[in-house]
Structure 1
Amino acid sequence: MFLSKYVLRQYIIVLAVNLTGVGVGMTVAWPSPMLIKLMKEDTQLSRKVSEDEATWIVSCGCLLPIVFSHFISWISNKLGRKTTLLLISLLKACIYMVQIFATELWMLYAIRVISGILDTGILCNLLAYSAEIASKEIRGALVTIQQMSLATGMLIIFTVGPYATYLVVNVVFECITLLIVVPLIFIPESPCSLLGRGLKDEALQTLIYLRGSETKAKEEINEYTVSCEQNKHTISYRDKVFIKALAIVVLLSIGIQSIGYLTVTMYLQIILDTTGTSVSTEVMSVVFGVLQLLAGLFAAVVTDRAGRKPILSITLVGLSIGMSGLGLFFYVKDSGTEITGIMNYLPLISVVMIVICFNAGPGSLINVVSSELLDSPVRSFGMSTSITCGLLVAFLNLKYFTLVADMIGSAAVFWMFAGVSLVYMMFILICVPETK
């Protein structure tokens, strides 16, 4: 079946805005190949970094966004989602230009902190923009494109990072960040953002352009107006429905940061080097990136055909099995047993399962569920709140992963991630409504 030109138009616009997600994915994956270079090789920095400093490079980008996320939400409501995304992308291009010439560790810390704030702004606005541009029938598929864009950015870093020099990787990063800015100039503003600022005529024209029907456009505007009236007092915490939805979204955000995928991503090459298997860590990094992209594509295809909860439940069980496999490998390795035969490939098999299950399930669908649980008038506030809580958990995971692994063993850490995945699955089955 052929897509109508209006549906195709929505896809093109969402794909264009999701290029900003490519930049976020590159920021997330950057430490994986770069930490090895910064700790073991001579780079343009004045000295090599220690293991403790490496943990700060990975985690410091999660700190200040906790403070600034609601400020970014306020800016978005004042300027509009498109304008905010455009300004943030321009600022990111400036920041990564500085990274090319950075020679001191404190400069790298500052760049990671500022880029963390900007990336938080992108994620908040990108999710809301995609949900507000899309028709209800294809919203699930369009929102899952965000995970594909993140996976594309990670794939670029995982492919280039292990083989190129520190300087070349940063130059590539800057060039792509500059290219991302261009399509943002030509996309329309979110109709909900226009309505929120009282620009009803402009919102109507945008919706007619996207839906191809003035009747449908007026119906959506009326729905938004009714929703605004119903939600006038929700952010004062007097609406039980909003409080329940916000609580679920916050717990979903905390859960997705607690299952260990971000930790595995940022410390990927260090984890793979630690395994000491005969499988090339550079090849595994590229495989990791490709599988992320394919799994995200799978989610985009099936999310509007199957329920959210069944997909999330199955993939979280698979994620738990993958984490358990990594735990088993490190348990055998730490016990002094020689690694031979199939055990050489257990880390690869486990990582493949983790990547596929996360990106086909929670990585793609948690954002969909969150956006569908929150009405447009409170979506920006709700997403900012959930991201703030998730960032706090992400910081603790990233900063203290290596410390905890040294204290109780890597096997125990990965088994903890496996257990949390199962608890997360039970929470989704029992407490989260099916939003399809």
Structure 2
Amino acid sequence: MLKYTVKKYCSEGSKFNQIIMVVLMVLPVFSYGTAVGWLSPMGPKLMSEDTPAAKPVHPDVISWMASVPYLVGTPAVFLFGFIVDNFGRKKALMLTSLSMAVCWSLKIYSSETWALILARAIVGFGVSGSYVVTPLYIKEVSEDSIRGTLGSLVVLSQNLGNLLVYIAGEYLCYNTTLWLCLSVPLLHLLIFVIMPETPSYLLKSGKVEEARAALAWLRCRQQSDTAVDNELQALLLEMQQENSARFFEVLKILVSDRSTFRAFRITLTITLARELCGCLAVLHFASLIFSQASSSWVLTANQQATMLGVVQLVGSFTASSLVERIGRKPLLGATCLVSGAALCALSAWFWLRGAGAALPLVPVVALCLCIYCDAAGLQPVPFVIMTEMFSFQLRGTVTSIVIAFACALVSIELRVFQPLAASIGLHFVFGIFATVCLLSTVYIACCVPETKMRTTEEIYAELGGKGKGKWTENKKQKDCEASVTKL
């Protein structure tokens, strides 16, 4: 039996171990954040005459470098979904860090075009692993009372990674920045090996005593504690109600059950809003956008991009404090609305600039507001809602499908952003992003349920009306009496 010998420096029932584990758990997402932000300061440097490559890199290559991680990430999410279900959350997360370590090592090894694009393609495994495994892992190790706050750390860690590489790209040389980025996944691989697998997966694997030990450690309690036993019984009940479905069976459930299908449709729609709000394009091409937006500022384009990173970090802290306080739906709707208004102002500014009537402060304020809203609600809240709207049996498959959908959207968005901006103008591109945000605000207000502190049965009852999630109800009636007695 696996034993956790870490001493308790916290009170009985404390959340300390959960917090420590989640902080370590989001290091791969931090590493992915550095990969997202890296292209902003390094893209212009690679295209310049002072390039670290053998010759200046063509803008089309930079567009492919931005797009290819998400192109690879689209099928890779299903690979990670398979690994998560068959080999465990812990191994999948460590594989994520390994892929990021390979990415940075390859960039250190060579700055040739083939190496740059291949390294960026490997980032696709990083994004897939980060966003398939991490939200699932957090859901299965955290208590309901802090799940939303811990879930918001996923995006917070990505934003910290963005900020780190913005600063490093401005003040450190090319190779030093790469070595700094490489240190993060290597640190995770060294430390996370001592962390436990999730109790849910251990139960699924038939390792009841290991699950009890892991759960007791996470809750800072003795293994014989009644609270540990009760929670273990609840986990076993949930899985035994829904332990037989596979991928295609899950797809059938998603389509055939009315409440489940509505939850799936809502998840895809808010994912669409999250990815097409334009913030990821801004983060990848921040320096290029600022270089076009204003030339009269004292700050350089990279320094202005760093300012975006600071605003993004502040937004992430806002999400951590508000997601439990005001709820998922109000936070998501408000940030989507404000982001849409900011993008409208930005689109209008780029359009009016041609007539010489634009103020240089507008794009900086609008972009900062947009990035703040993205970090405060648009990015973290959809992940929290997704994990709370689906049961253990559906969660892994739904996460894989949604992340694949998101990666496909982003790969197209980043590949066409620069060509579209050059051909039809940034005002038109940002106008599209603004329209997506404003339409999504209406959808959130009308269709998205509040999931805070609610069970899947309660959420499905709201979604399905009289149906109330028939599949879930029938399974519960069949298995409820027998499941707990097997513990």
Higher mean alpha-carbon deviation, 83-92 vs 97-106, is at 83-92
Q: Distance in 1 between the 2:289 and 2:383 partners?
A: 28
Seen in structure 2, the aligned counterparts of structure 1 residues 84 and 234 have a Cα distance that, compared at 3 Å, is: closer
The SS at the match of 1:198 is coil
Measured after TM superposition, the shift of residue 363 of structure 1 is: 1.3
Alignment of 1:344-355 (within 5 A): 344-355=360-371
**Residues 16, 184 of structure 1: 8 Å contact kept:** yes
Alignment of 1:292-311 (within 5 A): 292-311=312-331
Residues 41-90 of structure 1: per-residue CA shift (max 9 Å, x gap): 43332211112121111111111221221121101211111111113312
The SS at the match of 2:51 is coil
- Per the alignment, residue 326 of structure 1 pairs with 346
Give ranges in structure 1 of 5+ residues lacking alignment: none
Q: 2:443 aligns with which of 410, 424, 427?
A: 427
Q: Distance in 1 between the 2:394 and 2:349 partners?
A: 45
Q: Distance in 2 between the 1:338 and 1:251 partners?
A: 37
Q: Distance in 1 between the 2:167 and 2:121 partners?
A: 24
Q: Distance in 2 between the 1:91 and 1:390 partners?
A: 20
Seen in structure 2, the aligned counterparts of structure 1 residues 27 and 36 have a Cα distance that, compared at 3 Å, is: same
Alignment of 1:25-424 (within 5 A): 25-211=33-219, 212=221, 213-229=227-243, 233-237=249-253, 238-279=256-297, 280=299, 281-335=301-355, 337=356, 343-424=359-440
Measured after TM superposition, the shift of residue 4 of structure 1 is: 6.2
Q: Distance in 2 between the 1:99 and 1:111 partners?
A: 6
Seen in structure 2, the aligned counterparts of structure 1 residues 90 and 402 have a Cα distance that, compared at 3 Å, is: closer
Residues 119-149 of structure 1: per-residue CA shift (max 9 Å, x gap): 2112210110011111112111110111110
Q: Distance in 2 between the 1:126 and 1:65 partners?
A: 15
Q: Distance in 2 between the 1:330 and 1:392 partners?
A: 28
Aligned length: 431
Seen in structure 2, the aligned counterparts of structure 1 residues 229 and 176 have a Cα distance that, compared at 3 Å, is: closer
Q: Distance in 1 between the 2:43 and 2:302 partners?
A: 14
Higher mean alpha-carbon deviation, 2-11 vs 375-384, is at 2-11
Q: Distance in 2 between the 1:274 and 1:180 partners?
A: 38
Measured after TM superposition, the shift of residue 92 of structure 1 is: 2.2
Q: Distance in 2 between the 1:38 and 1:399 partners?
A: 17
Q: Distance in 2 between the 1:257 and 1:266 partners?
A: 13
**Residues 6, 209 of structure 1: 8 Å contact kept:** no
Q: Distance in 1 between the 2:33 and 2:323 partners?
A: 21
Q: Distance in 1 between the 2:296 and 2:241 partners?
A: 58
Seen in structure 2, the aligned counterparts of structure 1 residues 44 and 139 have a Cα distance that, compared at 3 Å, is: same
Q: Distance in 2 between the 1:423 and 1:271 partners?
A: 25
Q: Distance in 1 between the 2:75 and 2:184 partners?
A: 28
**Residues 239, 392 of structure 2: 8 Å contact kept:** no
Seen in structure 2, the aligned counterparts of structure 1 residues 12 and 55 have a Cα distance that, compared at 3 Å, is: same
Measured after TM superposition, the shift of residue 277 of structure 1 is: 3.4
Measured after TM superposition, the shift of residue 156 of structure 1 is: 0.4
Which structure: larger Rg?
2
Measured after TM superposition, the shift of residue 242 of structure 1 is: 2.9
Measured after TM superposition, the shift of residue 434 of structure 1 is: 0.8
Seen in structure 2, the aligned counterparts of structure 1 residues 304 and 338 have a Cα distance that, compared at 3 Å, is: closer
**Residues 101, 182 of structure 2: 8 Å contact kept:** yes
Q: Distance in 1 between the 2:194 and 2:281 partners?
A: 36
Seen in structure 2, the aligned counterparts of structure 1 residues 3 and 23 have a Cα distance that, compared at 3 Å, is: farther
Query: Aligned partner of 1:331: which letter?
Result: W
Measured after TM superposition, the shift of residue 252 of structure 1 is: 2.0
Measured after TM superposition, the shift of residue 282 of structure 1 is: 2.7
**Residues 26, 154 of structure 1: 8 Å contact kept:** yes
Q: Distance in 1 between the 2:206 and 2:272 partners?
A: 34
Q: Distance in 1 between the 2:447 and 2:413 partners?
A: 25
Measured after TM superposition, the shift of residue 300 of structure 1 is: 0.9
Q: Name the % identity.
A: 26
Q: Distance in 1 between the 2:160 and 2:397 partners?
A: 28
Q: Distance in 1 between the 2:175 and 2:57 partners?
A: 16
Residues 266-322 of structure 1: per-residue CA shift (max 9 Å, x gap): 010000001133222232222211121121111111211212111111111110122
Seen in structure 2, the aligned counterparts of structure 1 residues 231 and 300 have a Cα distance that, compared at 3 Å, is: farther
Seen in structure 2, the aligned counterparts of structure 1 residues 85 and 408 have a Cα distance that, compared at 3 Å, is: same
Residues 313-372 of structure 1: per-residue CA shift (max 9 Å, x gap): 11111101221222122112223x165xxx111111111111111111111211111111
Query: Aligned partner of 2:292: which letter?
Result: T
Q: 1:20 aligns with which of 28, 35, 40?
A: 28
Give ranges in structure 2 of 5+ residues lacking alignment: 1-9, 222-226, 453-487
**Residues 258, 417 of structure 1: 8 Å contact kept:** yes
Query: Aligned partner of 1:432: which letter?
Result: V
Q: Distance in 1 between the 2:313 and 2:189 partners?
A: 22
Seen in structure 2, the aligned counterparts of structure 1 residues 91 and 406 have a Cα distance that, compared at 3 Å, is: closer
What value does the CA root-mean-square deviation take over the aligned residues? 1.9
Q: Distance in 2 between the 1:234 and 1:196 partners?
A: 17
